[in-house]
A and B are shown apart, each in its own frame.
Chain A
Amino acid sequence: MSVKILGIESSCDETAAAVVEDGSKVRSNIIYSQIDLHEVYGGVVPEIASRKHVEKINQVIKKAMQEADCTWEELDAVAVTYGPGLVGALLVGVSCAKALAYAKGLPLVGVNHIEGHIAANFIEHEDLKPPFMCMVASGGHSHLVYVKDYTEYEIVGRTRDDAAGEAFDKVARAIGLGYPGGPKVDKLAKEGNPEAIAFPRAHMEDAPYDFSFSGLKSAVLNYLNGCEMKKIEINRADVAASFQAAVVDVLTDNSVRAAKAYGCEKLALAGGVASNSALRARMTEACEKAGVSFYYPSPVYCTDNAAMIGVQGYHAFMAGERSGLDLNAVPNLKIGER
């Protein structure tokens, strides 16, 4: 007997639903992205995101069920992201999922969005099983996580200030690339020289696996201001490539060092920044050198999606985790917290 989970995700600006079988077979993965709506504001506007979620949620869920050719009766549970994220946005998915599960008499499993990102790796990598080290980097999160088991984690390192994706967004805005910054910087950087400008790589003395990107962001802004004052023409591709190289260096160096220190033979990447081509290339190289197997999800599973929530929902469900009808959105939910 297979186990089918309906996953629902609405933590930021993507309304998503998916049906996942046995924790890895994605039967459907529907994502309604609101990126166009937020682009003119240069970032996600929480109220606009929440309003759109409530308009789209049923259509997205129904489409996921249809594409999976799955009936309500065939489902074993409903899994939903309940944090971290934008509270108003989270509440739409949580409220709808609870009502749906209640009305269909299905178990409900609240899922941590970041744990979902980590679990996205199980979709395409059958051989990846805990324990392993995972670097989760996205617009809102940057964590280095030791995945002890499918529902057990230890946070090894975290960002002290900006998330990696956030730094990409801010630098992208400063060099006039617009939102979302990650893919745009990645693209432009391919035409630039990563060694053109020596931007700083921050390392924390007291916490060897933590990172900080605000100093790097300031260095980029200072460089841009300096060029403007001295009337030096700015090579945006070089700025993008050099900035990206600094981020990639820090993320790669910390991840590989942590993997070795924890005796992990496997290292995975997760979250929106995991789509970054320079990061993937650099990690592949560094892991090969260190004798560590390296994993990352396809871009569609790096971005916010519900398949990953279905996957993590499956593992939580199998571990006996259940949520009640009073499940609330927890905007600052920590990894491993229940």
Chain B
Amino acid sequence: MKILGIDSSGMVASAAIVTDNVTTAEYSVNFKKTHSETLLPMVDEILTMTDTHLDELDAIALAVGPGSFTGLRIGAATVKGLAMAAEKPVVPVPTLDALAYNLWGTDKLVCPIMDARRNQVYTGIYSFENGVLRAHTEQLALDIAELAEQLNALGRPVIFTGDGCPVFEEQLKTLMKTEFSFAPAQMNRQRAAAVAALGAIYYAEGRSENADEMKPVYLRKSQAEREREEGKGTYYES
């Protein structure tokens, strides 16, 4: 089985090919250039480097969200274009599932945190049971204090990962009552190999979709919609 994985949910742009449980190529860049400039050239590079034709793929796995709204859309639109042309199914992989999967095998809880601004994180609580990723919560946007409270209640050691780590490190040091640590550089950001590897599992479980219907998972409404629901008058001013 051959899966192309793509993650552009955060600062990192990442593309990988996983072939029969082996990562045959992975390219990740955490740099200020926009995903629009980097992502497709990276996909081209790994396909060319490994003599892989899009036709050989079984599916394309995408970190479908949460994340930067624009980043998610660049990833989704890119995957939609590729999948439409190559007539391949898409496997939407929750961004936080893939982030957690980088820490496969630990007996601690894994808590990916992505900076969601306004003192919130996009997060989920995960563990591995007999080698299988288990989500204890849905992906959600949560205040950092509330997350710490939930983790404290579980009373198990926790590994934090994701771009929220440097942002919330100090706060977590005061909030956390259980043992905790931060994942090291090779596994603390989005990696498309994890998206593709998890994508392969989800694909085998039948969790693929038609690319045309796929939507990013934002976890948040647009500001205009929120303000309108809160009755904060009109959004558009002349």
Contact = CB atoms under 8 A, between A and B. Distances in A.
Are A and B co-members of a single complex? yes
Interface of A: 40-43, 45, 47-48, 50-51, 53-55, 57-59, 61-62, 72, 87-88, 91-100, 102-104, 170, 173-174, 324-329
A53 B72 CA distance: 13
Contacts of A72: 85
Residue picked from B39, B69, B224, most chain A C-beta under 10 Å: B224
Contacts of A55: 215
A96 B215 contact: no
B225 interface: yes
Given A48-B222, A95-B77, A97-B81, A326 B215 contact: no
A44 B123 CA distance: 31
4 nearest A-B residue pairs (beta carbon): A99-B81, A103-B85, A95-B77, A47-B222
Contacts, number: 124
Contacts of B80: 54, 57-58, 96, 99
Given A95-B78, A99-B78, A45 B224 contact: yes
B41 A42 contact: no
Interface residues of B, number: 38
B42 to A, nearest CB: 9
A93 B77 CA distance: 7
Contacts of B77: 53-54, 57, 91-96, 99
A42 B236 contact: yes
Interface in B34-59: 34, 36-41, 43-44, 54
The dominant DSSP class at the A interface is helix
B35 to A, nearest CB: 8
B41 A47 contact: no
Contact of A102 (B44, B70, B234): B44
B235 A54 contact: no
Interface string B193-231: 000000000000000000110011010001111001000
16 contacts: A47-B223, A48-B222, A51-B222, A53-B73, A55-B215, A58-B84, A91-B74, A92-B77, A95-B81, A99-B40, A100-B82, A102-B40, A102-B81, A325-B44, A326-B37, A328-B34
Nearest to A99: B81
A336 to B, nearest CB: 22
